[in-house]
Amino acid sequence: MNEWVSLLVGIIIGGGLLALGVKFFPQLARQKQNYPYEEEIERALLPHVFNAISAAYKVSEQAVDEAQVRLKGADKSRIAREVYQMLPDQIAGRDISSVKNLIGEERFAQLVENSYQKFDQFFGQHKERFDQLYEEWKRENAPG
């Protein structure tokens, strides 16, 4: 009987810890990690974050042009991981191996996602104006 109670308590505690992890891990992944020179290194990574977003955009544009299919989030995440592998030998005057020890592939992908989300908010706030610009472009480039 005691074994069953212990097993049940263990399952309940394990399930509770798993639920807490699922709930709070995404929030913790977005927070500062408090490693040395965190802001300086992440700021120096911004051009590479921009490259990852731009590369995903260009590949998505190619996919639409050639296959009439948009990239999904997992496809864009894969591109961010590839850009991480292409980082130069030094970032912010630091050897890339020390930078990668501080900012892993997952964190870099999260920086890319966070930056994209900020852009998406900006775009959403100004969507009417972008729609107007598109309509103007269509009129100016209409055949005939």
**Is the pLDDT reported for residue 126 higher than 90?**
yes
Q: Is the pTM of this model over 0.75?
A: no
Q: Can you say whether the dihedral through the CA atoms of 54, 58, 64, 70 is positive or negative?
A: negative
**Is the pLDDT reported for residue 6 higher than 90?**
no
**Residue 51 contacts by C-beta under 8 Å, 6 or more apart in sequence?**
83
Which of these, 56, 100, 89, 97, lies nearest to 75 by C-alpha position? 56
Name the pLDDT band for 30 (thresholds 50, 70, 90): very low
- Weakest mean pLDDT among 27-31, 41-45, 73-77: 27-31
Name the pLDDT band for 8 (thresholds 50, 70, 90): very low
- Weakest mean pLDDT among 1-5, 6-10, 61-65: 6-10
Q: How many CA atoms lie within 13 A of 8 on its CB side?
A: 5
Which of these, 1, 3, 107, 117, lies nearest to 45 by C-alpha position? 107
